[in-house]
């Protein structure tokens, strides 16, 4: 808009200089009796029309350069009305053959320039309005009226009504287990018992240089009013789900080289059973290879050898207690 206004100003200035030179030449010739008065008046009218067009172009450039106020638009609209009236008069005079065609054309050009001034002023005024991309509430103190802000400085921070964003940090070794769209259970430390459901919406493409941490954006829809921006939370992602899995406390599982095994009770003796491990969670581990309803030795397991006689006793009476394997869904 500014470039166009500057080009228009230079063009009208050139037209004004040409019209002024023609007017001055006609004035000298008329004073010497070399031309008729009608020729002099025609040159004078051409100069006045060129002057009006130049002033309108200057106004257009001023509007683009400066902040536009509602009164600027009213002034431009008044200029349009004046130009419209001038066109009406010129048309009427044309019908009476009082002025030549070029003056009527100049009046129409002035009307178009005035209408363009109004359009530019309205657009510039609309550009001064700051609109939020979504509905919400202003957080913190917004910038005060009249303050000077640098490029990119926020005018106000808005918290949307449509939900909150949970910013999570994930080590690089676990990132592959959390694809886009994964469901996340978010627990807020300050509100006991509250669980929020969210979805992974974005994953930063580059890790933090310190700790090799990736940041995730988890969208949480419709949180209660008790959850406020800035609260600390913890997220839980179900990386793997195993149906009807058998799990044991990790401490019960023993190792010999790369082999994992447990001791179970068969009759009144300890029997070693080799197992393979699966998903781990909260101190428990999924085990495969146990017989159905096997009773696993927990306390005293480090003193037992395969074939040793064992006796089941009530919990807390003595070491060597047999502990049955449990079934649970591992997540």
Residue 90 resides in a domain: yes
pTM, two decimal places = 0.37
| 13 pLDDT more than 70 | yes
Under the banding of pLDDT at 50, 70 and 90, the label for residue 66 is low
The answer for 61, left when phi > 0, alpha when psi is -120 to 50, beta otherwise, is alpha
Let me know whether 68 and 84 are in one domain: yes
- What sign has the CA pseudo-torsion 103, 105, 106, 112? positive
User: pLDDT higher for 255 or 104?
Assistant: 255
pLDDT digits (tens, 9 = 90+) for 49-61: 888 888 888 877 7
> Quick check: 331 pLDDT over 50?
no
User: Cα–Cα distance between 290 and 30 in angstroms, integer?
Assistant: 122
pLDDT band at 90 (very low <50, low <70, confident <90, very high): low
Q: Whole domain around residue 82: which residue ranges?
A: 2-127
How many domains does the chain contain in total?
A: 3
Which SS3 state, helix, strand or coil, does residue 211 take?
Answer: coil
Q: Of 191, 219, 237, at which residue does a domain stop?
A: 237
Final residue in a domain of this structure, among 215, 237, 259: 237
> Do 173 and 193 have their domain in common?
yes
Closest among 164, 139, 163, 168 to 233, alpha carbons compared: 168
| Count of beta carbons in the 10 Å neighbourhood of residue 134 | 9
- Output b/e per residue, 70-82; b: 16+ Cβ within 10 A: eebbeebbebbee
* Averaged pLDDT for residues 229-251: 79
Q: Specify whether 247 is located in the same domain as 233.
A: no
> Do the domain assignments include residue 15?
yes
- H helices of the chain, in order, are 2-31, 37-65, 70-95, 101-127, 172-175
pLDDT (tens digit, 9 = 90+) per residue, 270-280?
889 998 888 77
pLDDT at 108 over 80: no
Size of the chain, expressed as the number of residues it contains: 331
- Report the alpha-carbon distance of residue 127 to residue 123 in Å, rounded: 6
């Amino acid at each position: 808009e500014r470039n166009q206004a500057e080009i228009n100003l230079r063009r009208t200035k050139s037209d004004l200089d040409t019209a002024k030179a023609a007017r001055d030449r006609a004035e000298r010739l008329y004073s010497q009796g070399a031309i008729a008065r009608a020729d002099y008046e025609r040159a004078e009218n051409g100069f006045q029309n060129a002057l009006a067009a130049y002033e309108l172009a200057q106004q257009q450039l001023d509007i683009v350069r400066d902040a536009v106020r509602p009164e600027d638009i009213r002034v431009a609209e008044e200029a349009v009305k004046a130009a419209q009236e001038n066109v009406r008069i010129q048309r009427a005079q044309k019908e009476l053959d009082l002025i030549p065609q070029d003056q009527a054309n100049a009046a129409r050009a002035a009307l178009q320039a005035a209408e363009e001034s109004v359009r530019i002023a309205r657009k510039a005024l609309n550009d001064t309005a700051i609109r939020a991309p979504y509905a919400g509430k202003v957080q913190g103190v917004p910038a005060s009226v009249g303050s000077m802000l640098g490029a990119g400085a926020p005018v106000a921070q808005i918290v949307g009504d449509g939900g909150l964003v949970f910013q999570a940090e994930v080590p690089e070794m676990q990132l592959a287990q959390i694809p886009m769209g994964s469901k996340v259970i978010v627990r807020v430390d300050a509100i006991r018992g509250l669980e929020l459901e969210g979805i992974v919406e974005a994953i930063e493409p580059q890790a933090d240089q310190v700790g090799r941490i990736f940041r995730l954006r988890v969208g949480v829809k419709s949180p209660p009013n008790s959850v406020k921006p800035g609260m600390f939370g913890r997220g839980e992602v179900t990386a793997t789900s195993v149906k009807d899995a058998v799990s044991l406390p990790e401490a019960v599982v023993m190792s010999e080289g790369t082999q994992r095994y447990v001791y179970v009770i068969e009759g009144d003796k300890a029997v070693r059973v080799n197992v393979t491990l699966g998903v781990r969670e909260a101190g428990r581990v999924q085990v495969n290879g146990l017989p159905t309803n096997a009773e696993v030795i927990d306390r005293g397991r480090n003193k037992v050898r395969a074939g040793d006689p064992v006796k089941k006793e009530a919990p807390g009476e003595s070491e060597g207690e047999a502990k049955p394997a449990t079934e649970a869904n591992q997540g």
